[in-house]
Amino acid sequence: MLSQARVGLGLRREMLGEFCQALPREIDFLEVAPENWMTLGGKFGRQFRQLTEKHRFFCHGLSLSIGSPAPLDIRFIKQVKHFLDQHNIELYSEHLSYCSGAGHLYDLMPIPFTDAAVTYVAKRVKQVEAILERPLILENVSFYAAPASELTELEFVQHVLEEADCRLLLDVNNIYVNSINHQYDPFEFMRAMPTERIAYLHIAGHYEEASDLLVDTHGSEVISPVWQLLEACYQHHGVFPTLLERDFNIPATDELLREIRQIHGYQTAQLDKLGRSA
């Protein structure tokens, strides 16, 4: 079992050589999208195997398309299961969205916030879990339009988690991005998430297209309001494993470690506070 105060980083291929030499002690786990690693062979495949044999990994998928109108891709899910088994990875999360219909959409699309969609997604979650022989953890996603909605984003996420009886990957940056784009209080949304269902957290940077339009890019540093939301999240829900996402514009490891140490600092401060009050 993970201790509460753990911090991770999304692994990219350009990090393999460095991390195979030595993984910085501040990084407690690594996360990968299985789609990007399942078919790797040769040098990259050997380096990846070297890391998974020594370090704890989480998987965060891109292509499951849990809310798609198309049937689940059973062959793909079985491939994911094989990958998880092969590398002894227990935690597998995916986006509460969809990316396929009549073909692959190459983007994460919002599921209509309806009661029918809640029931549909919950049924598919159980199908996936039966194949994976593992829990499926769902992430709250950023979205830019909410077509045909009958529920709020908050209600939809809550209802899916309850009906599917599944756990939550709470993405702090996505809460902040959506709060600006859709004009709600990010702290109220964060506090309304069910503590008992949280598995771990994501934090990342984003791009400011306009003062009222943020784009979730994972391509820049985390900004102050998102750090404040993470700190408040620890204070309200407790300390959970937290992953720093950086998908492009990837700086030197020392710069990433500065943000990773900042996460450690918030975790330590909250745990110390709890220790003093015990």
Q: Does 115 reside within a domain?
A: yes
CATH number at residue 144: 3.20.20.150
**What is the per-residue pLDDT for 101?**
44
pLDDT, tens digit, 9 for 90 and up, residues 32-47: 999 999 998 899 999 9
Determine the angle formed by the axes of helices 115-132 and 74-86, rounding to 10 degrees: 50
Structural domain boundaries enclosing 272: 7-277
Strand 242-245 versus strand 198-204 pairing type = parallel
Rounded average pLDDT over 181-186: 95
Confidence of residue 213 (pLDDT cuts 50, 70, 90): confident
Mean pLDDT computed over every residue of the chain:
91
Q: How far is it, in rounded angstroms, from Cα 73 to Cα 127?
A: 11
Please indicate, yes or no, whether the overall pTM of this predicted structure exceeds 0.85: yes
Whether 64 and 125 have beta carbons less than 8 Å apart is answered as no
Q: How far is it, in rounded angstroms, from Cα 3 to Cα 161?
A: 24
Q: Does 1 reside within a domain?
A: no
Alpha helices in 109-152 (DSSP H): 115-132
- Is the pLDDT confidence value at 103 over 50? no
Place of tokens 């969809």: 98
**What is the per-residue pLDDT for 163?**
98
Q: How far is it, in rounded angstroms, from Cα 90 to Cα 59?
A: 8
Q: How far is it, in rounded angstroms, from Cα 245 to Cα 205?
A: 8
**What is the per-residue pLDDT for 252?**
94
Q: Does 39 reside within a domain?
A: yes
Question: Total structural domains in the chain?
Answer: 1
Q: How far is it, in rounded angstroms, from Cα 60 to Cα 140?
A: 13
